Amino acid sequence: MAVTTVKSTYSLDVESVRTLEALARRWTVSKSEVLRRALRIAAATTDKGENARTEALNRLQAAVRERGVDLAQWERDVGTERLAAGSRVESSSR
């Protein structure tokens, strides 16, 4: 069965082209196939609405874990900073 294709021309920045080529090599497919897959993935992700936002949060949290950020310590630091800022505001308004 023949598949209908449409030739198109697009302009990409150098980094995008390098990424496209790297994915094509990694997946051992054509650059066109990489673009088709990326479009399908993007369409499936954006159709999820609320899930897309949750997935973005999950990716952010994973990135924080990968970088070894101690979230409990970060929370304590922010709390201390907020208390200190509140004290400065109170003393300046007297």
Cα distances (angstroms) measured from residue 30 to each of 1, 3, 10, 19, 21:
20, 16, 16, 13, 9
Given a cut of 90, whether residue 85 has pLDDT beyond it is: no
> Does 6 or 46 have the greater pLDDT score?
6
pLDDT (tens digit, 9 = 90+) per residue, 21-31? 999 999 999 99
Residue range 66-91: mean pLDDT, rounded: 84
Q: What value does the mean pLDDT of the chain take? A: 85
pTM metric for this prediction: 0.47
pLDDT (tens digit, 9 = 90+) per residue, 5-22? 899 999 999 999 999 999
Whole-angstrom distance, CA of residue 64 vs CA of residue 61 = 5
Please measure the distance between the N-terminal and C-terminal CA atoms of the chain and give it in whole angstroms: 81
Whole-angstrom distance, CA of residue 13 vs CA of residue 40 = 21
Residue with tokens 């449409």: 6
